[in-house]
Structures are given as C-alpha cells and as structure tokens.
Amino acid sequence: MFAFSPRIAALPIVRREDQFPVRRVYCVGRNYVAHIREMKEGDERDPPFFFQKPADAVVAGGADVPYPPQTEDFQFEAELVVAIGGEAVDIPVERALDVVFGYAVGVDLTRRDRQRESFKTGLPWEVGKAFDCSAPCGAIHPVANVGHRLSGEISLSVNGVERQRGDLGQMIWNVPEIISNLSKSYRLQAGDLIMTGTPAGVGPIVPGDRLVVSVEGLAPLAFSIAGKEF
Ligand code: MN
C-alpha cells in the first residue's frame, strides 16, 4: 500500500458546516467580447471554447498564491465560478440551471507569456493555464441563498486600484448555455466547477500584490501573491 492520500481540493460553503469537494475544473475561453478585443487573438465571432485546470489547482479561502515558475508575465482573470451539484449529459439549455449547486468568485490565473507561445505554436495550453495554484476560488454560495447569477457586476482590483469591471450579462454564452454546451462533450457531475470567462482589463501581477475580486451578490475573494515558490 502507498502511504499517502491525494489532497482533495474542497471549498467552503457559505453558512454550512460541510465543504464542496472539487472533482474537475472546467474553464471557458473567449466568453466576453471586450476581452477578446484586448487579447487581439482570434476572431471575436469565433465561439467560446473549453479547457481544464487540475482540481488541485484550486486555492481556497483567500490563501496566498505563490508566483509560479516559468513566467515573466503572470496575469489575473476575474471570473464567476459555477459549482455543479448534479449529473448533466447533453442537457438542454432550458434545464441546465437545475444542476447548479451554487456560485463563487474565482480567478483564472494565467502565465500569459506561455499562453501566447501556445497561440503561435498551436501547442497545448496546459503550461499557460493548468499549473499549481492557478485557480483561487472563494466560498460557494448555494443557489438556495443567492439565486442564479446571470447578471450583475464583476470586478477586480490590485492593491486597491480597480483593473477589471464588467457585467455577467455580457457573457457570449450565459451560464445555462455554457452548461448545455459543456455537457455535450463531458459527463458533468457534482463537484465540477466551471470558470465562466473574464471581462476586459486583464493584466500582470507581482509578488506582494493584493487582489480583491467581487461579483455582485457574492462575498468577495481577497488574496495576496507570495514570492516565487521555486
Ligand atoms: Mn479565463
């Protein structure tokens, strides 16, 4: 027998004792027109698409995030996170919200220089997106408490200066459309998180920076960037 047990990432649930165990982390790319324009990559008429981060990339509860290796351009992307609470296979848009357990505030941290190399070479995005501690996420608010978050302000500040501001209503694919589309390719199950894309304003961060991310109706997520881990 191996004398170890893998660390299962889990997120606190607002006003509950139990935690939400994370099974998978899906992310939506290119889901706000204003962010597509600032990236100057691809055609803004191209549809959104999906990629994944490892479940243990989730950093819960505002803990510090180390500055990752292999980048000189470490960037934030403020995102609404959808927590899935039931199974969905090829679910129609009209029923897609039934499998949402709750919502949280998250950040899709990105090694932008590595991601831009992937655009050029056509090689996979993992090195740019799917690295250790790349998915800080706040506590999950159950739908029972906060309803569905389909519109409302999303914003991010660094050291008290606002850097991103948008509205969830600006998503190209809204939450039910994301779930329905994703469930055509994957069997969604309880414990899955979906990071739903970022509005305009993404930019670099360095050790010592303090980030505060807010989505209207949810508790903000605040965390700091620590020094290089290795
Ligand atoms: Mn993103």
Question: What pLDDT digit, counting tens, does each position of 143-199 carry?
Answer: 999 999 999 999 999 999 999 999 999 999 999 999 999 999 999 999 999 999 999
Task: Give per-residue pLDDT as tens, 50-82.
Answer: 999 999 999 998 899 999 999 999 999 999 999
Q: Per the domain annotation, does 13 fall within a domain?
A: no
Does pLDDT of 229 surpass 90? no
- Residue 228 C-alpha to ligand 1 middle, in angstroms? 22
> At 8, is the pLDDT very low, low, confident or very high (cuts 50, 70, 90)?
confident
Number of domains in the chain: 1
Q: Per the domain annotation, does 114 fall within a domain?
A: yes
In three-state form (DSSP H/G/I as H, E/B as E, the rest C), the secondary structure along the chain is CCCCCCCCCEEEECCCCCEEECCEEEEEECCEHHHHHHHCCCCCCCCCEEEEECHHHEEECCCCEEECCCCCCEEECEEEEEEECCCECCCCHHHHHHHEEEEEEEECCEEHHHHHHHHHHCCCCHHHHCCCCCEEECCEEEHHHHCCCCCCEEEEEECCEEEEEEEHHHECCCHHHHHHHHCCCCCECCCEEEECCCCCCCEECCCCCEEEEEECCCCCEEEEEEEECC
- Residue 78 C-alpha to ligand 1 middle, in angstroms? 7
Q: Per the domain annotation, does 109 fall within a domain?
A: yes
Q: Per the domain annotation, does 8 fall within a domain?
A: no
- Residue 4 C-alpha to ligand 1 middle, in angstroms? 32
Q: Per the domain annotation, does 131 fall within a domain?
A: yes
- Residue 205 C-alpha to ligand 1 middle, in angstroms? 15
Q: Per the domain annotation, does 9 fall within a domain?
A: no
Does pLDDT of 1 surpass 80? no
| Residue 99 belongs to domain spanning | 18-228
Q: Per the domain annotation, does 12 fall within a domain?
A: no
Task: Give per-residue pLDDT as tens, 99-130.
Answer: 999 999 999 999 999 999 999 999 999 999 99
CATH code of the domain covering residue 173? 3.90.850.10
Q: Per the domain annotation, does 160 fall within a domain?
A: yes
- Residue 143 C-alpha to ligand 1 middle, in angstroms? 23
Specify the pTM: 0.97
- Residue 209 C-alpha to ligand 1 middle, in angstroms? 19
What residues are neighbours of ligand 1 (ion), with CB under 5 Å?
Answer: 77, 108, 198
